[in-house]
Amino acid sequence: MAQGNVVNVTELIDQGRFGRFQLWVAIWCGALVMIDGFDIGTTAYVVPVMAPLWQLTPAAFAPVFLSTLIGVLIGTLSSGPIADRFGRKCVVIAAALIFGGFEIATIFVEAIGPFITLRFLTGLGIGALMPISVALTAEYAPQRIRTTVTAIMYLGFPMGVGAGGFIAAEIIPTYGWQSMFVIGGVLPIVLLAGAIFALPESIRFLVAQGTQNARVANLLNRLTGDARFSSDDRFTIAEEKTKGFPVKHLFTEGRAVTTSLLWIVFFCNLLVIYFLNAWLPTVLRGSGVPLNDAFRLTGALSWGGIIGILILGPIVDRLGATRVVTCLFLFATMFVIAIGFAGNSIPLLAISIVGCGGCITAGQSFSNVLAAALYPTTARSTGIAWALGIGRAGTLLGPVVGAALLSANVSAQGIFFSAGVPALIAAGAMLLLGRRLRAAKAALAIAEAPSI
């Protein structure tokens, strides 16, 4: 390519092929999301063992869940603006160090007070990994397969949660509850060593800075597989630079209602996900399900999500996310209620839990992709991070409500019926969001049509 040519990076990526470079980005981001998912389920798996060991009731561990999610919330909300200003990669490195370090420190606690503190500090690192991973994967994927690629990357999350259930069933009886935190702490440190060298910075972030031509050219050469770009080229993106605090851009240019509906979806669906991940093993154990089966069934919640994502990803690329996700949340409402009526029947529980997991996990994955598409590059990490942050604010209710229901001796049917309510609200919000986005698209088409 001749020197000084103008290169539209957005168009190049959106219309280009999906090669080894983008696959590499998706794999690394999926690995980071996997350890995020593994940790989310860890506390739920150790509570049934720690409670009698420390002579506490399961409800006494509600502050542990709560402190973790507060840390996750703070980490999520702060990571977006920091990443949009200083880059995605530095946030990933810091998050992995925080995550792994405090996870390993948890194995030495002997009382619930230090346990609460360390789970809060671990949550700070956990919260930053998900939004940055989603943003990076979405930005490097061609538009025609962006939903499928990002959704497959997100498979790391349910794989991490699901693997935790099966790993817990094997190692906790032999090595104690500490073994789960050893695995959860070592994994991010090991991955960090590779990610420092292998994970690229967001190319659109570098273009938006306007002073990183050499790095942009190098990334484009790796992406396209040739050496036709140089630092003398002028790189552009199909978005204007934004000024000021990135969060305000989530509510400007007609985005206020869209952002609000998206936040309701994230709030309600993540509430259901964390409610089930936190209390499902304990409720199943109370219903007479053997401990190891309770762990495996909880893991099946996430494996249902993996099946849903793989099957529905291409369909979402063709039909759009909002219609499919609305249906998923409606089915999630029915499945989560069905769990309560399955009693201690392992086959019925397996069907209900896998169905529920498939709907809520796949729905969250496609909602993440939708969030990435709604905002400009300079506010994309912030948009995803704040949607996840507001969603994780909803998860703060999970431990509290779950503890209250358990303390009040509410039946399993009542507990799972309660979890169905936010799933139904999420379906309604996604329905309204879809109608709004389709109306905006139709209005834009009319505005751009030639006069006759």
CATH label, 6-448, candidates 3.40.50.720, 2.40.50.140, 3.40.50.300, 1.20.1250.20: 1.20.1250.20
Q: Output phi, psi for 346, to 5 deg.
A: -60, -45
- The rounded radius of gyration (Å) of the Cα atoms in the chain is 22
Average pLDDT score over residue span 357-367: 86
pLDDT the model gives residue 3: 55
HSE, side-chain direction, 13 A CA sphere, residue 226: 3
pLDDT the model gives residue 314: 77
Q: Above pLDDT 70, what percent of the chain? A: 90
Q: Angle formed by the axes of helices 146-154 and 346-374, to 10°?
A: 130
Digit-coded pLDDT (tens) for 385-425: 778 778 767 777 766 777 777 777 788 788 888 888 999 99
Burial group, residue 197, by CB count within 10 angstroms (0-12, 13-18, 19+): exposed
Digit-coded pLDDT (tens) for 73-132: 888 778 877 877 777 888 888 888 888 899 999 999 888 999 999 999 998 888 888 778
Per-range mean pLDDT, top range of 30-44, 251-265, 345-359: 345-359
Digit-coded pLDDT (tens) for 26-57: 888 888 888 888 887 788 788 888 888 888 88
pLDDT at residue 431 greater than cutoff 90: yes
pLDDT at residue 178 greater than cutoff 80: yes
Residues 69/277, Cβ–Cβ less than 8 Å: no
> What's the mean pLDDT when you consider all of the chain?
80
